[in-house]
Every structure is written in structure tokens, then in C-alpha cells.
Amino acid sequence: MELDHATRLITESDKDERNARAARLVDLYDLLGSASVVLHGQAAQLLFEDVKATWLYGYFTGTVLTSYAFCVQQLAGLIRMASDDSDLPDEAATLEALAEIAARHALVDIDVRARLIGLNDSASVYLSANLSNYDRQFEHRAEDAERFSDEHTLLIDARSALECCVGLLHR
């Protein structure tokens, strides 16, 4: 492929996606609002920038997975800053476990905790694999989304993941 041809293809693709990206940018700014946010650590800061980028550019699997990683870092930072509990474990194996610890210390409300558990569930579809047989978790989620919504399951998961991240920022 020649460079000029590749440039034309990218320009056409960018033009086709521009309106969708603009709509997602509006959604992002509406979610974030004007309130200041506190990010707990450089990893959380970098991950949140990637959450926003994957959302804007429509890389929804990336949004789900990066949101999971961001929420782990952000929750761990919240717990470290706000808790003097000497019985805290050194690590939490899942986002769901971190959400439980954060809820126990009144760092997240029931809505944010539910979103975190939902993100844990949706990310687990991508973060785990059955070695003995193919598990149709994603296909089942897609069928449910088709039955109950007009949107693709990945878009639903990505939007929910983004809302989960913003919920942690605005807690």
C-alpha cells in the first residue's frame, strides 16, 4: 500500500467517525461536569486518560478493561488515604473485593459499589478464559443486550464502565 492511499483511507475513516466521537465527547463532559476530581496516584491518572481516549475513539473493549484497572488503582488509593484499619489485607484479588472493603469503610455508597461489581463482572468476560471448553459468556451477554436494548453489549459495558469511573471521581 502506498502512503497516499493509506492517508486517504484514514481521512475517510476519520470523517465517518467524527460525529460519533463528538457525541461521545459531549457525553464524557456531561458525565464529568465541572467539579474538581482527585486521582490517587500516577497510575490512576494515566489510566483515566486512557479510559477517556478509548471511550472517545470507540475502543470499547479497551474502555472496559482500562476502566477496571483505573478503578482498582483509584479504590486502592481511596482506601489507603482514608483508612487506618490495621486489618486491611495487603492486596485485594478483584475489583469486587476492593469495592467490599471500600463500602465497609464508607468510602463508596451502594450505587457506586453496585457499578463496581457490574464492572468486575463485565471485565471478567475478557480477563478470564476456560481452558477445558469455550465459555459463551460474551455471546450470552450480547443476546441479553439484544433482547433488552437497542445497543450492542460492548457499548453498554463501556458506557457503564465510564460511569463507574466517574462515580469514583465524584464520590
Each residue's pLDDT tens digit in the chain (171 positions)?
A: 899 999 999 888 888 789 999 999 999 999 998 878 888 889 999 999 999 999 999 999 999 999 999 999 999 998 888 777 667 777 777 899 999 999 988 999 999 999 999 999 999 988 887 777 777 777 777 677 677 777 778 899 999 999 999 999 986
Helix locations, the chain, DSSP H: 3-32, 42-57, 60-82, 95-104, 110-127, 137-148, 153-169
CA distance 160 to 166: 10
168, 108 Cβ separation under 8 angstroms: yes
- pTM for this prediction: 0.86
Backbone angles phi, psi at 146, to 5 degrees: -65, -40
Closest C-alpha to 21, from 44, 65, 55, 45: 55
CB atoms within 10 A of CB 14: 10
Query: What is residue 86's DSSP assignment?
Result: T
